[in-house]
Amino acid sequence: MPGFDALPGNTALKASLRTALDRRFPQAVLLSGPDGSGKTDFAQTIAAALLCTGASPRPCGACASCHKVAHGTHPDLIVIDEGDGEIKVETARNIRDEAAILPNDGDRKVFIIHNADRMNLSAQNALLKVLEEPPRYVFFILLSSQPGVLLQTIRSRCAIYQLEPPHVSADQNPELLEPSRAFLRAMAKGDEYGMLLGANGFAKLNKAAFQQAMTLLGTALRDAALVSVGAAPLVPALSAETRALAGALTAEKILAVYDHLTLLSRRAEVNASAPIQCAVLAAGAYAICHPPRSSK
């Protein structure tokens, strides 16, 4: 089973995961990123590391557990993949029942849930019960390209890790960085006009670059929310902006803007009017961060 070094890109993310694995790894994580960003490979590698019985660094790739994970035969790795179909409440209940059973091989059991955003509301509520109080030996890895679709209560129970868009490194693409920088700076200052100017920078990009820029901005917003509670940012090139934003706004407001952005990104996939989407992004984000005072 290859380790983290074999995974492309995402240098900061890999360092963060290694650190977490060396300490106390969260029992529920959400891997977020666009299709093709490597969520499945990262999930498999994390699962292998959690189940590994060999020497550090883990996964060692040599122990019996690593070989079982690599061949899809580990009894304590349960993979939920409904493809493009809906994940129904029966599946979530089965997960909950399986989680109550002790591991077979070792002292841990790992669940990987693909397309977690395809859980219907009943399934999410059923899964929430075990996410809130998981058995000490259980770890959940949720994968999603649209995390904003998940209930906020689900997301709040997970450590969120954002993957870079495929073939794009934030540190190497100023075309994507500059509008994000301008938007985040203006957002931290409460500058509505500056936010609109920054958003207009996104509208000048072609469709593929626009989607990548939205993902990058979403990563930066997620970073700012985590920085506000003491975590390290995953996009070094935007660390100054995310730290400034974390100091200016609450994590709740930042995540509300993240949800707003996620919804707009989904609409942009079928609506070619990027300038309108960008104007709505700026206006909505400003209204979330600086709601009008009610008159008495």
For the segment 19-69, what is each residue's pLDDT rounded down to a tens digit?
Answer: 899 888 999 999 998 887 889 999 999 999 999 999 888 999 899 999 999
Structure tokens given for 260: 């707003």
Does the pLDDT at position 275 exceed 90? no
pLDDT over 80 at 268, yes or no: no
DSSP class of residue 87 equals: B
Greatest mean pLDDT among 92-96, 169-173, 204-208: 92-96
- Across residues 281-295, what is the average pLDDT? 85
Fold of 170-289: Zinc Finger, Delta Prime; domain 3 (1.20.272)
Distant-in-sequence, close-in-space partners of 151: CB < 8 Å, separation ≥ 6: 121, 124, 125, 128
Cβ neighbours, 10 Å, residue 104? 9
Helices assigned H by DSSP within 64-145? 64-70, 89-99, 121-132
> What pLDDT, on the 0 to 100 scale, is given for residue 227?
85
Cite the beta strand spans of the chain per DSSP E: 28-32, 77-80, 109-113, 138-144, 159-162
Six token digits for residue 274? 């990027």
Q: Which CATH number applies to 4-162: 3.40.50.150, 3.90.1150.10, 3.40.50.300, 3.10.620.30?
A: 3.40.50.300
Query: Which of 6-10, 215-219, 263-267: highest mean pLDDT?
Result: 215-219
What percent of the chain clears pLDDT 70, i.e. is strictly above it? 92
Whether the pLDDT of residue 126 is over 80: the answer is yes
Residue 138's DSSP bridge partners are 109
Residue 136, pLDDT above cutoff 90: yes
On the 0-12 / 13-18 / 19+ scale of CB atoms within 10 A, 231 is: middle
Residue 271 reports pLDDT greater than 70: no
Q: How confident is the model at residue 270, as a pLDDT?
A: 52
Outline which parts of the chain fall under CATH 1.20.272.10. 170-289
Residues of the chain with CATH 3.40.50.300: 4-162
Q: Per-residue confidence at 212, pLDDT binned at 50, 70, 90?
A: confident
- Judged by DSSP in three states, 226 sits in helix
3 pLDDT more than 70: yes
pLDDT of residue 172: 61
